[in-house]
Amino acid sequence: MTDIFLDQLTISAEKSSKTKGGILITGSHVTINLPHAPLRYLYSGWQSWSLTAWVNTNRPIRPMRPQNQQTRVADPLYVNDPRPNGSWYGAVELPGDQVIFLGALGLEAHVAMEGKTLKAWSETGSLEWFLGAGNEAKILGRYAELLGERLGHGRVKVSPRVWCSWYSLYTEIHEQQLLKVLDDLGPFGCAQSLSFEVFQVDDGWQIGIGDWEPNAKFPSGMNRLADHIKETGRKAGLWLAPLLVVPSSSVYHEHLDWLLHDENGKLVSAGFNWGEPLYALDTTHPAALDWLASLMEKVRGWGYDYVKLDFLYAGALPGKRYADMARETAYRKGLKTIRAALGEAYLLTCGAPVLPSLGLCDGLRISTDVAGNWSSRRDDLLLMNFSIPSGRNALRTTFNRLWLQPLVNTDPDVVFFRSRQINLTPEQKSLLQDMAQICIFKASSDIPAWLTDSERSALRDFLESTPEVRKTGRTAYQIGDHEVDFGPHIDMPPLPDKFTNLQGAAIGALANIPVLMKVFDKLGKNSLKKMLKHNPI
């Protein structure tokens, strides 16, 4: 498609002008009248875990279940909007594979489709937008250029290779166990070792969410663990969720004024996890910002050079803040404080609003969590929640965010090589591995003791490989000596029938009951402990 086609579109805005690859538009509200009814719409998820995908316009994306988890995976302002819509940008596909794209060049923006019209608006006033038509990859490439000029780029060209404790041990980590894993990985650089450059300690080391000190499972302290990691020639990595606070934390009891409130003075919900309701830190409160900076400086002082910050959406939730500031701008203010305090440490953001994180982080998770399963009837049909951890959910959203690569290291989450304690087929594991090669972001949680000799060798080869990657079609890539087409694996599942939908509504309602959520959490922990007892590391 050419500019001639763009000239045929009816644009309602304050002003517009031609630019390389499209049109720049200015306005707080923008309307684009389309020549034909679209066949598909590109949903743009708000944060790392939010669904991002091309979806047929006749297939509704209903509000996900359970309701009390919606804040954790979607923008709460728009989660119940029935229109095809998304954060900052949207695109439609017309007959003949023609794509029309409209994207904000700033924050606090949203795009939706109504019939044969694209509507876009800013929550804060007049904003600049990019309108493009034609080849999807070229349009998104130009959009990335424009965003880079306005928001910046990550500092690190190539991400390090990371071993992460989460997808094998979850919260059941302890000091001696991790030291055993570290020893089994072998010293970095040795012939038979696994060449992870970072050893990252994930959730489970802390006293609690908001109390970021080591618990009793780490008696030597986090600084001594960092020393052990560095003695193997690796960098030490640590997970935190610094913008969340739970009722059991000292921050909640001592500094309630640091938290985000609504117009009625009630705390804003950030979801439910760890058996407790979640609340958000107000990143415009001076004392809260000082606390954030001190926390990051403490982590650096312990010796951690790689920091994964999770559940960061909390900083951009709607609410009444200490300073009158737009919500994504407020989040960015907090992230700037964190970035400055971390100095040269590698910063990976996760559960993070996508555009507001650009220019401030080195790596950005661009998908929901992976899991040891590919998909499930519960998630796809009963809950209709495509942000729940699974292999296919992660692959789908990662693929549709690959356009971010010029701006930041794109994290597709971990890959698996083990066959123990996992339900992925060899083909499914291969798809995740291929995506990691495309992203040039390699991470795994495989326990060395759980790997067969051939699996360990395959993981070592994967970590050390640098295949040539070339896009050969809209959904196809040539990766080294083989070609992979992700198209058949990232389509949306069919809608459930009425009976299945009623079943899902009942299950979703039960999952909204806090007592039951705590029971499910307890059962999950007991199951994990039992599994680890029978699968020593």
The residue extents of the domains of the chain are 3-151, 508-537
The dihedral built from the CA positions of residue 454, 460, 464 and 469, taken in this order, carries a sign that is positive
Conformational region of residue 32, where left means phi above 0, alpha means psi within -120 to 50, and beta covers everything else:
beta
Residue 190 in tokens: 């040795």
Half-sphere exposure of 405 (CA within 13 A, CB side): 16
pLDDT score for 2: 40
pLDDT score for 160: 98
What are the start-end ranges of the H helices in 403-497? Answer: 426-439, 453-464
Residue 327 in tokens: 């919500």
Instruction: With H, G, I as helix, E, B as strand and everything else as coil, classify residue 31.
Output: strand
**Element holding 4 (H helix, E strand):** helix 3-7
CA 440/CA 410 separation, integer angstroms: 8
Strands 346-349 and 363-365: parallel
**Residue 158 CB coordination number (10 Å):** 9
Residue 302 in tokens: 């312990």
Beta strand ranges found along 186-293 (DSSP E): 198-201, 206-208, 211-214, 235-240, 244-245, 269-273, 276-280
**Residue 58 CB coordination number (10 Å):** 8
pTM recorded for the entire structure: 0.97
CA 249/CA 383 separation, integer angstroms: 31
Reply yes or no: is the peptide bond before residue 536 cis, omega within 30 of 0.
no
Instruction: Report phi then psi at 337, rounded to 5.
Output: -60, -45
**Residue 407 CB coordination number (10 Å):** 21
pLDDT tens across the length of the chain (537 residues): 344 478 779 999 999 999 999 999 999 999 999 999 999 999 999 999 999 999 999 999 977 898 888 888 999 999 999 999 999 999 999 988 889 999 999 999 999 999 999 999 999 999 999 999 999 999 999 999 999 999 999 999 999 999 999 999 999 999 999 999 999 999 999 988 999 999 999 999 999 999 999 999 999 999 999 999 999 999 999 999 999 999 999 999 999 999 999 999 999 999 999 989 999 999 999 999 999 999 999 999 999 999 999 999 999 999 999 999 999 999 999 999 999 999 999 999 999 999 999 999 999 999 999 999 999 999 999 999 999 999 999 999 999 999 999 999 999 999 999 999 999 999 999 999 999 999 999 999 999 999 999 999 999 999 999 999 999 999 999 999 999 999 999 999 999 999 999 999 999 998 888 888 888 888 888 999 999 999 999
CA of residue 276 relative to chain centroid, distance? 22
- For residue 448, which amino acid is it? P
CA 134/CA 143 separation, integer angstroms: 13
Residue 477 in tokens: 């890539």
Residues 6 or more apart in contact with residue 240 via CB below 8 angstroms: 206, 212, 295, 299, 307, 308, 309, 310
**Element holding 297 (H helix, E strand):** helix 286-302
CA 506/CA 382 separation, integer angstroms: 9
CA 142/CA 22 separation, integer angstroms: 9
- For residue 363, which amino acid is it? G
Looking at the domain covering 3-151, what would its CATH class be?
Answer: mainly beta
CA 41/CA 67 separation, integer angstroms: 24
Q: Which residue shows structure tokens 């596909």?
A: 93
Residue 169 in tokens: 């041990």
Residue 379 in tokens: 């998630």
Residue 492 in tokens: 């949306």
Q: Which residue shows structure tokens 């493009």?
A: 132
pLDDT score for 1: 37
